[in-house]
Amino acid sequence: MLNRRTMLELCISRGVLAAGVASGLSQTQVLAFWQETEQKANKPTSPEVLGPFFRKNAPDQRVLRAPGDSGFPLKVTGRVLNTKGQLAEGAQVDMWHADHVGRYDTRGYRYRTKFTPDAKGEYGIDTVMPGHYADRPAQHIHYLITAPGHKTLITQAYFATDPFFEGDIEKNWNKRGIADHKDLILPVKLFEGGSGPDQPAHAEVTFDIILEKA
Amino acid sequence: MRLLNLFAAVAALSVSLPAADRILSSEAVPGAVYFSPDGTTVTASCRDGHIRTWEVASGKPIRDKVIAGRAFLIAPDVYAEHDGKNNTVRAWDLTADRQMQLVNGAPSGRTAISGDRRLLATAGSKERSVKIWNVATGMPSQVLADGIGGASELFFSPDGETLVSANYDNDIRVWKTKSGEMVKKVEDLTGAMFAGEFTPDGKQLIMAGLDETVYIWDAKTFALNRKLKGHGETISALAISPDGRTLVTGGFDVIASKNPVKVAFWDLASGKITRSVQAPHQVASLAFSPDGKWLAMASGEKQIELWNLEPR
């Protein structure tokens, strides 16, 4: 079975028709393969609700975790692109979440930020793992992303390690209707800490955001 | 003597009373609460889908209406029944037990009805528009572009000529219902407004929400008249007394949602809190009786609390 990379290499070196002939696939099949893989790769990020705790005008801050914070350190990285794989130029990202015991800061801007991704569309935020709270018992980070020429996206990122999912995402991803889309539940990498205080044990997730053209 | 003075001082500072004057027991947590126009009964839509009515004098339940879908009381005798699958809303006359209208193309979310029952407004939580419907025909008379986050509050002015929608994106939009013209957009708030009402004379618009502040606008010019600070918690419900002199605000504790919360009585002339009482937690709804003598409160427990406001 040809994988996407092999197909891509064949297409680049010989042209699509030649690749089709060489692999025994018809031109239609090659086209269908391309369309399918491209759609998968660039599927727009699923939407979620905004929730009641959004606050406008958050400051641009990339380190939300303050020294001495009790929460488990979490690094969130990702890219903001559109469905064509292009940079969503001028994108602005609001991110906000509850603290480690599930409290939102409604008076200030703790664990809230609004930023523009870098020239490659990449972003990185140091924060803490959000806590659970009664009304939404799954840990999550809220996102609101705008970019000129693109549809505004409101979504949320969840964590595969969340006890709420009981270690079985396939079975429990939509438990109690909390998470609307399975693709919003992110795999979590856990890192043991180093010896120094600046090398704490931490978690990392990657959340790539794919916007639709308006 | 000194201890007694201390007690007196504490009593003066802590104005909360130990308990409500009357408790109306409910089998499920009530949401929206209204007094009947004659003030003899209280009705509430509850989380189990029932709409329950109690007699104020005896505190006893007198009616229990079971609704098939999700239903919200939107006036003393009108409830909206939402069908999220088919995107319909039915407005029902509770007293007559009669369907007033069914509107198509109204995703589940907030619903409001004008005082004369001629106009229905709907705003779906994921739909970025507000619709005004003609109750007589069931047809939309206005489709208005709303914010991006879904409506956090939706209500008409007493004369039905103005519609206000607050959005979870923090903005407030004010429309003329006849023309659909947006006469005001408030964009400088940094928190959603969860509760709002016009004063009974229609001259002022009062709203409050996430940022713990009460905002009072002139309802003609929509200039911000005053900001009242001091509630100290996120405000999720408010009510204005029929004489327009008292505002009452209640909310929830974002730090611990099961904590008791404050319900504050404001003298609107001075902008000062004159009394506060304690509610169990998460105040969903507040309502004055038409004679202004009672306040009904739904606050997260399976009951409605009635507070007698007559001077003692």
Place of tokens 């991110």: A95
Tell me, yes or no, whether B237 lies in a domain.
Answer: yes
Token output for B84: 């999220």
**Alpha-carbon distance A54 to nearest alpha carbon in chain B (angstroms):** 7
User: B128 and B145 in contact (C-beta within 8 Å)?
Assistant: yes
User: B219 with B243, same domain?
Assistant: yes
Residue B56 falls inside a structural domain: no
Q: Chain A contacts of B192, Cβ < 8 Å?
A: 52, 54
Residue A135 to residue B257, Cβ atoms within 8 A: yes
Instruction: Examine residue B13 and state whether it is found in any structural domain, yes or no.
Output: no
Q: Across all residues in chain B, what is the average pLDDT?
A: 92
Examine the pLDDT at B216 and tell me if it is beyond 70.
yes
Mark yes or no for CB contact B212/A133 under 8 Å: no
A109 touches chain B (CB under 8 A): no
Whether residue B115 is found in the same domain as residue B172: yes
Q: Which of B210, B213, B258 to mutate to test the interface with A (most CBs of A within 10 A)?
A: B210
CB within 8 Å: B148 and A50: yes
Half-sphere CA count of A165, side-chain side, radius 13 A: 22
Q: What is the pLDDT of residues B42-59, one digit of tens each?
A: 999 999 999 999 999 999
**Domain count across chain B:** 2
pTM: 0.87
**B contact set with A (CB within 8 A):** 125-126, 148-150, 152, 168-170, 189-192, 194, 210-212, 234, 254-255, 257-258
Contact A81, A93 (CB under 8 A): no
Q: Which fold has domain A73-211?
A: Protocatechuate 3,4-Dioxygenase, subunit A (2.60.130)
Q: Among B178, B204, B235, identify where a domain stops.
A: B178
B227 and B264 housed in the same domain: yes
Same domain, B104 and B221: no
pLDDT of A177 reads 83
Least confident piece of the model among A200-204, B29-33, B74-78, B247-251: A200-204
Residues with Cβ within 8 Å of residue B188, at least 6 apart in sequence:
none
Question: Dihedral angle at the C-alpha atoms of B72, B73, B74, B80, nearest 10 degrees?
Answer: 50
Beta pairing partners, B275: B265
**Nearest residue of A to residue B209, measured between CA atoms:** A52
B56-72 core/surface letters (b: 16 or more CB in 10 A; e: else): beeeeeeeebebebebb
Cβ of B257 and A107 within 8 Å?
A: no
- CB contacts of B254 in chain A (<8 Å) are 53, 103-104, 106
Q: Is the CB of residue A5 less than 8 Å away from at least one CB of chain B? A: no
Give me the pLDDT at residue A25, please: 59
CA dihedral A48, A51, A53, A54 (to 10 degrees): 50
Nearest residue of chain A to residue B254 (CA atoms): A103
Tell me the average pLDDT across A55-83. Answer: 95
Q: How far apart are CA A8 and CA A19, in angstroms?
A: 9
Same domain, residue pair B291 and B264: yes
Measured N-to-C along each axis, helices A27-41 and A16-23 cross at an angle, to the nearest 10 degrees, of 110
- pLDDT band, residue A113 (cuts 50/70/90): very high
ipTM for the predicted complex = 0.89
Task: Give Cβ neighbours of residue B47 (< 8 Å, ≥ 6 apart).
Answer: B28, B29, B30, B31
A170 in B contact zone (CB under 8 Å): no
Of the residues A54, A57, A110, A136, the best mutation for testing chain B's interface (the one with the most B CB atoms within 10 Å of its CB) is A54
- Side-chain-side CA neighbours of residue B70 (13 Å): 16
Interface of A with B in 26-85 (CB under 8 A): 47, 49-57
Angle subtended at Cα B240 by Cα B236 and Cα B241, rounded to the nearest 5 degrees: 140
- Where residue B213 sits, what CATH number does that domain have? 2.130.10.10
- Which residues have CB under 8 Å from B166's CB, separation 6+? B151, B152, B153, B154, B172, B192, B193, B194, B196, B207, B209
Q: Is the Cβ–Cβ distance between B16 and B276 less than 8 Å?
A: yes
Residue B180 has pLDDT above 60, yes or no: yes
User: Domain check: are B193 and B139 in the same one?
Assistant: no
Q: What is the pLDDT of residues A152-162, one digit of tens each?
A: 999 999 999 99
Contacts of A134 in chain B (CB under 8 A): 257-258
The 10s digit of each residue's pLDDT in B69-78 is 789 999 999 9
Put simply, the answer to whether A49 touches B192 (Cβ < 8 Å) is no
3-state secondary structure of A11: helix
**What's the distance, CA A21 to chain centroid?**
38
Q: Where among B122, B151, B178 does a domain terminate? A: B178
Q: Do B112 and B222 sit in the same domain of this protein? A: no
Residue range(s) defining the domain that contains residue B264: 19-44+189-312
Same domain as B83, residue B36: no
Tell me: the pLDDT tens digits for B119-158? 999 998 778 899 999 999 999 999 999 999 999 999 999 9
Are the Cβ atoms of A106 and B210 closer than 8 angstroms? Answer: yes
| Rounded-to-integer distance, Cα A90 and Cα B146, Å | 23
pLDDT reading at B16 higher than 80: no
Question: Residue B138 has which token pair?
Answer: 């069931």
Of all residues in chain B, the one with the smallest CA distance to A107 is B211
> A52 and B189: CB-CB below 8 Å?
no
Cβ of residue A151 closer than 8 Å to a chain B Cβ: no
Residue B8 has pLDDT above 50, yes or no: no
Q: Which residue of A has its CA nearest to B126?
A: A49
Instruction: State which amino acid sits at residue B226.
Output: R
A203 touches A75 (CB < 8 A): yes
By the 8 A CB rule, do A55 and A109 touch?
A: yes
CA distance A134 to chain B (A): 8
